[in-house]
Amino acid sequence: MKNSSPLFRLGALIASAATVFALAACGTANSGTAKKVNTESASGTPVTYTGTLPMPSTTGVYNNPQPRSNLKDNGTLTLSINEIGPDWNAFSVNGNTKYMNTLWSYYMPTLWLYNADGSTVKPNKNYVTSYKVAKANGKQTITLNFNPKAKWNDGTAIDWTAVKAAWTVQNGKDKNYTPASTTGWEQVEDVKQGDNAKQAVITMKTPYYPATSFISIYPPQAVNAKTYTSGWTDNPHDKEWGAGPYVVKNKTTSQVTFTPNPKWWGNKPKMTTVTFKALEDQAALNAFKNGEIAATGLSTADDIKTVKSVKGATIRRGYDSSVSVFEFNAKKGVLKDINVRKAIVQGIDRNQMTKIAFAGLDWNTPVPGSELLYPTQKGYEDNMPKEAAFNTANAKKTLEADGYKLGSDGYYAKNGKTLAVSYTTFGDGSKIKARGLAVQKMMKNIGIKLTIDNKGSSEFSNTITSGNYDIVGMGWSGANPTDGFTSGYQLYGSDSDSNYAFVGSKAADKLLKKVTTIADSQKQIDTLNQGEKLALKCYGTLPYANPPVMGVYAKGLANYGPSSWKTVLVEDIGWQKN
């Protein structure tokens, strides 16, 4: 569940386990509030409601928005999370998960603030007091002025060196670094000090649009390549390299507690402690029911029944900036063969996968044809190849044309080897199990033997970054409205460390790299769609659902929950006074 909406990090889509965080309508309940609700309240819908849940606005904020003046001081908050670590470097491909970005938002800088529909952006003046995009000597320049009070927790000033450090670790020149994305930074010619150390001047080799959307800062104290790749392992370095509202009070591999940062120069956090516990879905449901955590995702009618008795709890749901996908590891065995990957894609009924994802929910969105733009966004197109459409007969024809022969056991084989693959899933949710069984049946229908490899949620990062899978279910989540436009190469690039299919197209690479150099937004969209169409012809990945944010929240929890693109600062999350 996208529990809060701090701006994670710009310029990169964030990987997550492909759990559809959804809330079932409790239409079979025999008690509760039945009066029809046509519009979702900003604070959510009572869990006692038994009617059809209202659809949210595509840009609505449903996190019980409250001003700081109406929040209690010295609150405590406990939440669940899929995993904690092991890599605490959210810039790295190994640490670029939704979960680590959530943890980073509590103790690392958030530079940019977006409104709910994503149409405006402004700097977080705790860090950047002003910025300017201009042209000097024929080249685009971006000038940032940093807050005089802004410091890393070890006392080092946050200044132009933090921008240079981000450029160093993310420009892709030095292969000793493993950035999740090089987008934007690879177009930078230089980063220099401006009028003083608190001013950074970025000079671009080629213009980048939108100009500031890739800019982030990284602690220059940690710029050494060895430190970057291994120095963050099981170590958040909050006391030295942190620079946010909170610091880590204590930590294990299954729990982390934040407490207000005594060196923080901004608004005082409303919570005395914020604790994240690594829990599987069922454990999180039980913990919420017992009052041990303040929010959790819900995905079935049984889930809502489990928490129905929690007094004052509300259901909050909204559109999410995420897409659930299958990744096919083109470096593994039979999946090296594009025809096998193509047959698998032809054999997966994405409409059925969507029905499983949203079964029992008052939710209906089309099957996505893009991993970069969402059906609710301007410029969205279905970029899947026409020949990729679900068709069991065509899938078999693809395999037979590739030299496979159907055996008496119902499975295809070549050179005496049965065509077999494994499908890796994470977590213990009922819909995760249902999805696995559905894919297994679909593969059997086209003559491919599929085994299910279920792992704990805490194994997600290590599994994905090690490439230890054949087929894996996962998701991508955008942190800001421009991520889809700027992250095409991150997902599909032939040499991108975030391309978990490990296959690409030179023609697609060229187009996807070109997108951010185009000033005209419509031409950007057109080029992006052209590039994704070519990339999806590699049959390395398959989008199948755009899940909503749906969850249940404790009474009075404010500024926490679905908020569209709106940036909600963690120091403003609290308990409502009245």
Q: How do residues 484-506 score in pLDDT, each as one tens digit? A: 878 899 899 999 988 999 999 99
What CATH number corresponds to the domain at position 285?
Answer: 3.40.190.10
Last residue of a domain, one of 158, 192, 227: 227
**What does the pLDDT average to over 549-564?**
95
Give per-residue pLDDT as tens, 528-552: 999 999 999 999 999 999 888 889 9
∠ Cα 310 313 316 (to 5°):
140
> Is the peptide bond between 548 and the residue preceding it cis, with omega within 30 degrees of 0?
no
Based on the domain organization, do 348 and 449 belong to the same domain?
yes
**pLDDT on residue 383:** 98
User: Is residue 359 very low, low, confident or very high in pLDDT (cuts 50, 70, 90)?
Assistant: confident
With beta carbons less than 8 A apart as the criterion, state whether 314 and 552 touch: yes
User: Is residue 4 very low, low, confident or very high in pLDDT (cuts 50, 70, 90)?
Assistant: very low
Question: Which spans in 418-562 are helix H?
Answer: 430-445, 460-466, 483-486, 488-492, 506-514, 521-536
User: Is residue 32 very low, low, confident or very high in pLDDT (cuts 50, 70, 90)?
Assistant: very low
Based on the domain organization, do 394 and 531 belong to the same domain?
yes
> Is the peptide bond between 375 and the residue preceding it cis, with omega within 30 degrees of 0?
no
Give per-residue pLDDT as tens, 377-387: 889 999 999 99
Based on the domain organization, do 284 and 213 belong to the same domain?
no
Give per-residue pLDDT as tens, 280-319: 888 999 999 999 999 998 887 788 788 889 999 999 999 8
**What does the pLDDT average to over 358-368?**
84
User: Is residue 16 very low, low, confident or very high in pLDDT (cuts 50, 70, 90)?
Assistant: low
Mean pLDDT computed over every residue of the chain: 90
The more confident residue out of 185 and 4 is 185
Containing 238, the helix (H) or strand (E) segment is helix 238-241
Based on the domain organization, do 178 and 127 belong to the same domain?
yes
Based on the domain organization, do 342 and 459 belong to the same domain?
yes
Give per-residue pLDDT as tens, 415-460: 999 999 999 998 887 888 999 999 999 999 999 999 999 998 888 8
**What does the pLDDT average to over 318-325?**
89
**pLDDT on residue 35:** 63
**What does the pLDDT average to over 341-359?**
93
**pLDDT on residue 556:** 97
Burial class (CB in 10 A: 0-12, 13-18, 19+), 39: exposed
Sequence-distant (≥ 6) Cβ neighbours of residue 300 within 8 angstroms: 24, 359, 360, 430, 431
**pLDDT on residue 100:** 92
Based on the domain organization, do 468 and 421 belong to the same domain?
yes
Rounded to 10°, the helix 430-445/338-347 angle is 110
**pLDDT on residue 302:** 80
**What does the pLDDT average to over 238-254?**
97
Based on the domain organization, do 292 and 336 belong to the same domain?
no
**pLDDT on residue 476:** 87
Would you say residue 239 has pLDDT above 70? yes
DSSP 377-393: STT----S-GGGS--HH
Rounded to 10°, the helix 506-514/521-536 angle is 160
Number of C-beta neighbours around residue 209 at 10 A: 19
Based on the domain organization, do 313 and 435 belong to the same domain?
no
Domain count across the chain? 3
Sequence-distant (≥ 6) Cβ neighbours of residue 137 within 8 angstroms: none
**What does the pLDDT average to over 461-473?**
92
Would you say residue 19 has pLDDT above 70? no
What CATH number corresponds to the domain at position 128?
Answer: 3.90.76.10
What domain range includes position 467?
A: 322-546
Based on the domain organization, do 451 and 420 belong to the same domain?
yes
In a domain, residue 516? The reply is yes
Based on the domain organization, do 277 and 336 belong to the same domain?
no
Percentage of residues of the chain with pLDDT beyond 90: 74
**pLDDT on residue 22:** 27
What CATH number corresponds to the domain at position 333?
Answer: 3.10.105.10
In a domain, residue 96? The reply is no
User: What pTM did the predictor assign?
Assistant: 0.86
The more confident residue out of 97 and 28 is 97
**pLDDT on residue 12:** 43
Would you say residue 15 has pLDDT above 70? no
**pLDDT on residue 72:** 98
**What does the pLDDT average to over 477-483?**
80
Q: Rg (Cα) of the chain, in Å, rounded?
A: 24
Q: Which amino acid is at 42?
A: A
Inter-CA distances, 56 with 312, 316, 357, 482, 562, Å: 20, 9, 18, 22, 10
Based on the domain organization, do 305 and 174 belong to the same domain?
no
**pLDDT on residue 562:** 93
**What does the pLDDT average to over 154-177?**
97
Would you say residue 34 has pLDDT above 80? no
